[in-house]
Structure 1
Amino acid sequence: MSQLRSTLEFLVYDWLQAENLTSRDRYADHSRETFDAVMDTCERIAREKYAPFNRTVDTQEPTFDGEKVSQPQCTHDARKAFADSGMLSAAQPYEKGGMQLPYVVEAAANSFFGCASISIGSNLLTVGNANLLRVHGTPMQQQVFADNEFNGRWAGTMALSEPQAGSSLSDILTRAEPDGADFDSDALGARYRLKGNKMWISSGDHELTENIVHLVLAKIPGPDGKLIAGVKGISLFIVPKKLVDTDGNLTGERNDVALAGLNHKLGWRGTTNTLLNFGEGKYPVRGGAGAIGYLVGKPHEGLKCMFHMMNEARIGIGMAATMLGLAGYYASLEYAKNRPQGRPTTEGGKDAASAQVAIIEHTDVKRMLLAQKAYCEGALALNMYCARLVDEGRTGAAEEAVRSKLLLEVLTPIAKSWPSENCLEANSLAIQIHGGYGYTRDFPVEQYWRDNRLNMIHEGTHGIQAADLLGRKVRMQDGAGLQLLAQTMQATIKKAAARPELAQYAHDLNQALQDVSAATQAAWLTGNPQEALANAVPYMQAFGHTVLAWVWLDVACKVLEQDASQALAANAGRINAISYFYRYELPKITAWLNVVNARDMTCAQMPVEAF
């Protein structure tokens, strides 16, 4: 993990200047030394408790005997080590038992776990669940549920999808009705009884913690007893696996949340993925029928509350995709350096009597390695930049905080979608470099690809992210977010244009930015959403490539600012990566934007029967 560590240090300290955050009151107790100590701890735990067992959890999937989920001991050990490290509450204030770390440092430290074994579990949902309750929960809900998630006693989930309603949340059928039974725990919030089914719930049942806190979307029936159509009828509820009192103690009574079965997926096999039945009567709760749930926020504002967790999870999935891409890159780089095959081509052809060379000497292998580097290190830079925006939003001056939050809104679909597509391609290239061996389980790259393939679907498919970007994010506040992103890019373009080595790239990025802006206008020229969104995915691909070109150019500016003696090889690698991206990748946006500009309806108007 030494290469990951050096890359993170360059991005966090040199490029993003994270040490400057210690001048702010919230982070005043910290220093480079404390930041490094956190990364040291996480790197060590990842190396000792995660990496050696990545294959174990892939081959020894969770099992369910009808009552209890079983997982290998290494999963329990890894989860305990993570919780004991305090990383669950790393960004929480001291008075809540946290380290009060900047989010950019927390994200960097957590990246070691994703690189070592995403399948063991990232604890992403537990932290996101608790963070949501910090914002939208009552003081008692925060104390009982969020605090016990942050301290590691309990785990958390998000329960949105249903068997008949995956991404279409307006079609959920889980219902919640007010509960008039006499309980001692009314202080936990307005109490409801839930009935319904939830599908694809990651970490929905396990024995890793003493309790699991489900955040469940459900609809409250209207006066006529019918569910309100659309997303306006959705509310959000805390539904614990085991019932608790106001002191956070288990009451000894099981809530009516039943595991109906485990989903066995292509990747992330070490993480339980579940079908949960709420209120089916397997574990009847005294006083009535249905699972006990406590309302979070106001009735019918559940989706608004849940987006707090969904947006956090989307950025987390982008980070997971990035780390899987980097894991594959590091593995294929090592393989390419040590695998002898073939001989160099000279003017006289190949000399069969000469010694074989390592395959990294071959141009096409260099191409595939350079593509992986450009994709994955670029995605990591984007992830870290977004993490820095979170810190600005939390602790920056008022105007800067507002700008940072708006910029993060626009970038979130890209932070999720771009790594999940392009770092998956990096994993495919890692298999290609291994040749036939890459298909086998003797090498890790096939697992990295399988694990990463899930991330294009996790937390909203490509199509959903694209519709969010073109349909909402670039248009919100009369395009203020897009204008802010353009201004931020222009600052980098101006800086790079002053350097002869980067002037051409600055020109190319400026042209790409103009092309994306023009395509945004062209897509909505008729005001017809069907025409505008017909090519939302190509639009997002072009937008994402433009964003990554900007990130790489900004990184290159920092590289050239440094003393030539600093990390010469690493910086040369970064400069070559930007060359690759601008020459091989950025030109792709022309084809993507052509169909956007034309509002091409080839796909939209394809008759169903013609398939």
Structure 2
Amino acid sequence: MASNIVSARNLDFLLNEWLKVEALTDRERFQDFSKADFDGLLELCEQVATDHFATHFRKSDEQEPTFDGTRVTLIPEIGEALKVFAEMDGFALQADHEFGGMQLPSTVGTAAATWFTAANIGTACYSFLTQANASLLAAHGDDHIKDTFVRPMLQGRWFGTMAMSEPHAGTSLGDVITRAVPDDYGTYRIFGSKMWISGGDHEIAENIVHLVLAKLPDAPAGTRGISLFVVPKFLVNEDGGLGERNDVVLSSINHKLGSRGTVNTAPVFGDGAYTPGGMAGAVGYLVGEPHKGLKYMFHMMNAARLAVGTAATGTASAAYLKSLEYARTRPQGRSVTDGDQSTPQVNIIEHTDVRRMLLAQKAYVEGALGLTLYCARLLDDEATLEGDAAREASQVLGVLTPIVKSWPSQWGQESTSLAIQVLGGAGYTRDYDIEQHWRDQRLNPIHEGTHGVQALDLLGRKILMDGGAGLMALAGRIEQTINRATLAGGDLAEYAAQLKVQLDRLGEVTFGLVSLGDPEKMMANATVYLEAAGHLVVAWIWLEQLIVAGINEGNFYNGKRQAGRYFFATELPKIGPMMDLIAAGDLTSYEMQDAWF
């Protein structure tokens, strides 16, 4: 029976027919794997996600975490699911052999993650934070930090967080005021409060490893003065066992719209609840060099941005497939040509407008999944290729990172909204899963850099880096796809021509913005630019899929071609008005004044 959270057939198409992941096994890093290994792992992920994550999806929402002033309590099923995840080495899938990891390609690892985000993002979030935390420390920590903290996290015994935002400064990290003071033991004492920290306290792991942004006494102002520290909930003895409680406590937990199973916290460091070693302040270990913490944290933040795109895709996938299942079994109404009210009602999938909504969801979900897997493949290329090929993969990934975070988040929300609409009155009741997926989805345009922040990153940084090399490399790849589709002829050539027009227009608009010489006016429509670029990129991902689908026969390929046709007919034209707005230099929002509201 086909899954109602992720299409295994579509995953197989994207991984094997399009991205050819088996070819990665020719590279030294992945030489221990075979296609059979990849297939077997993904089947295991489907089973664990279905049997252990999806089964408490509703319960983890209805019985959200509680805090009694001392202890955070989660439903037991969350810990039980993550224990099974640890037993399948889920925390260590992509980690290096050096740390006991499997060294799985990121492409396959992202496909695996899709199963868990689709099943229950609230539970899956603990694992993704821990994996990203361990990856950062493996890359930037010293030997003591690596030996002490990385392996227990990859074994799933300890969990990790990223503690960046503060009550007075969310995204504005240059304004953090958490302090780090050197002590007499080569460590630091941390004092300050953080806010909106996912997984910040619970009892489902032996220890929690916080990555904390703080400033040393001699720190320069702004982001140049940020350092990064490891601050564990429990100190660690020389033998690796847990020692005394560190001075990390919660002031409260936050009560979220969705993804409620992931406890969201307001931790306080060094408030005096505990005095490790008889001294004030939470014990912290400096990661890397002083004042370079934000640079190191971007290692985790970029991984988290791909993870958010994956989560948004998985959530939209589950909502789509559940609404499809409902539409196939819910009788209501008759054909518009059937005037005989005595005839049996048809299932609502027979109505054109319902098929329109399902087709839009399919186009969004399969486009987003293609985008996330393509970005993961770039990570594999960046890690295993050399010279110009590795550099180009890194440049293209840099441009696509804000898009892969934002596009699935924005259009995954629209997709999930359509799923509610398909169910009609049932869609807005808590008796069906869809409204929970919609609430879970709404967090994604906010976490790990809001939609607007990603827009500023794309237009203000990524497009300008290295003289625009990343954008030119991406445009070159899109041009190659356009050329292949043009040679194929037929519908593919028509789609290629449409995409070529929009690609050229994006180039013109980008050049015009850069030529303004006024940063504020250049960035006035950055969000519109992000959304236009995102739609263009997903149209390219769809053209890639359509080329591979070719003239293959069968329902799967017919559905793939129809969804691609929908995207080019309905979605790609939306770019035109966006480009017009940017090209016209519209300053309506920029010139709006506070008093006028």
Normalized against structure 2, the TM-score is what? 0.98
Task: Output the amino acid matched with 2:273.
Answer: K
Task: Output the amino acid matched with 1:66.
Answer: G
1:208: which partner in 2? 204
Q: Could you tell me how far apart the structure 2 residues matched to 1:117 and 1:47 are?
A: 9
Displacement after TM superposition at 1:301 (Å): 0.4
1:570 aligned onto 2:549: no
Post-superposition CA distance 1:504-536 (Å, at most 9, x none): 100000011011111111222221111000000
Q: Percent identity?
A: 50
1:520 aligned onto 2:520: no
1:245: which partner in 2? 237
1:536: which partner in 2? 526
Among 443, 455, 472, the alignment partner of 2:432 is 443
1:371 aligned onto 2:357: no
Segment drifting more, 499-508 vs 591-600: 591-600
Among 550, 555, 563, the alignment partner of 1:560 is 550
SS in 1 for 2:150: helix
Q: Could you tell me how far apart the structure 2 residues matched to 1:27 and 1:161 are?
A: 37
SS in 1 for 2:123: coil
Instruction: Tell me if structure 1 keeps the 8 A contact 2:114–2:313.
Output: no
Task: Output the amino acid matched with 2:233.
Answer: K
In the TM superposition, what are the counterparts of 1:50-69 in structure 2 within 5 Å?
50-69=53-72
1:6 aligned onto 2:2: no
2:131: which partner in 1? 127
Displacement after TM superposition at 1:87 (Å): 1.4
Task: Output the amino acid matched with 1:140.
Answer: H
Post-superposition CA distance 1:259-296 (Å, at most 9, x none): 11110100010111000000000112224211110100
In the TM superposition, what are the counterparts of 1:190-339 in structure 2 within 5 Å?
190-222=186-218, 228-251=220-243, 253-339=244-330
Segment drifting more, 84-93 vs 167-176: 84-93
In the TM superposition, what are the counterparts of 1:38-187 in structure 2 within 5 Å?
38-122=41-125, 123-180=127-184, 182=185
Among 459, 464, 474, the alignment partner of 2:448 is 459
Displacement after TM superposition at 1:498 (Å): 1.3
Task: Output the amino acid matched with 1:518.
Answer: E
Q: Could you tell me how far apart the structure 2 residues matched to 1:96 and 1:432 are?
A: 47
Task: Output the amino acid matched with 2:200.
Answer: G
Q: Could you tell me how far apart the structure 2 residues matched to 1:471 and 1:518 are?
A: 17
Displacement after TM superposition at 1:331 (Å): 0.6
Instruction: Tell me if structure 2 keeps the 8 A contact 1:221–1:228.
Output: no
Q: Could you tell me how far apart the structure 1 residues matched to 2:249 and 2:495 are?
A: 56
SS in 2 for 1:502: helix
1:383: which partner in 2? 372
Instruction: Tell me if structure 1 keeps the 8 A contact 2:193–2:266.
Output: yes
Instruction: Tell me if structure 2 keeps the 8 A contact 1:130–1:145.
Output: yes
Post-superposition CA distance 1:446-485 (Å, at most 9, x none): 0000000000001000110000000111111000000000
Displacement after TM superposition at 1:350 (Å): 3.0
Count, aligned residues: 592
Displacement after TM superposition at 1:228 (Å): 3.5
Among 568, 575, 584, the alignment partner of 2:570 is 584
Q: Could you tell me how far apart the structure 2 residues matched to 1:161 and 1:351 are?
A: 62
4+ long deviations beyond 4 Å: none
Displacement after TM superposition at 1:590 (Å): 1.3
Instruction: Tell me if structure 1 keeps the 8 A contact 2:420–2:435.
Output: yes
Q: Could you tell me how far apart the structure 2 residues matched to 1:598 and 1:84 are?
A: 57
Instruction: Tell me if structure 2 keeps the 8 A contact 1:329–1:372.
Output: yes
Instruction: Tell me if structure 2 keeps the 8 A contact 1:140–1:246.
Output: no
Segment drifting more, 501-510 vs 119-128: 119-128
Q: Could you tell me how far apart the structure 1 residues matched to 2:327 and 2:195 are?
A: 41
Post-superposition CA distance 1:93-117 (Å, at most 9, x none): 3342122211111111121111111
Instruction: Tell me if structure 2 keeps the 8 A contact 1:336–1:358.
Output: yes
Q: Could you tell me how far apart the structure 1 residues matched to 2:510 and 2:271 are?
A: 48
Instruction: Tell me if structure 1 keeps the 8 A contact 2:328–2:349.
Output: yes
Post-superposition CA distance 1:517-561 (Å, at most 9, x none): 111112222211110000000100000000000000011001106
Displacement after TM superposition at 1:406 (Å): 1.1
Structure 2 gap segments, 5+ residues each: none
2:583: which partner in 1? 597
Q: Could you tell me how far apart the structure 2 residues matched to 1:48 and 1:596 are?
A: 48
Q: Could you tell me how far apart the structure 2 residues matched to 1:192 and 1:507 are?
A: 59
Task: Output the amino acid matched with 1:427.
Answer: T
Q: Could you tell me how far apart the structure 1 residues matched to 2:542 and 2:146 are?
A: 40
Task: Output the amino acid matched with 1:237.
Answer: F
Q: Could you tell me how far apart the structure 2 residues matched to 1:126 and 1:363 are?
A: 45
1:186: which partner in 2? none
Displacement after TM superposition at 1:354 (Å): 2.3
Q: Could you tell me how far apart the structure 2 residues matched to 1:545 and 1:300 are?
A: 37
SS in 2 for 1:34: helix
Normalized against structure 1, the TM-score is what? 0.95
Displacement after TM superposition at 1:326 (Å): 0.5
Displacement after TM superposition at 1:92 (Å): 2.1
Task: Output the amino acid matched with 2:581.
Answer: V
Displacement after TM superposition at 1:397 (Å): 3.3
In the TM superposition, what are the counterparts of 1:344-423 in structure 2 within 5 Å?
344-346=335-337, 350-423=339-412
Instruction: Tell me if structure 1 keeps the 8 A contact 2:148–2:240.
Output: yes
Q: Could you tell me how far apart the structure 2 residues matched to 1:155 and 1:538 are?
A: 38
SS in 2 for 1:576: helix
Q: Could you tell me how far apart the structure 1 residues matched to 2:225 and 2:95 are?
A: 32
Structure 1 gap segments, 5+ residues each: 183-189
Q: Could you tell me how far apart the structure 2 residues matched to 1:151 and 1:399 are?
A: 36
2:460: which partner in 1? 471
CA RMSD of aligned residues (A): 1.2
Q: Could you tell me how far apart the structure 2 residues matched to 1:169 and 1:140 are?
A: 27
Post-superposition CA distance 1:203-253 (Å, at most 9, x none): 00011110000000001122xxxx6421111100000010012432212x1
Among 30, 34, 38, the alignment partner of 2:33 is 30
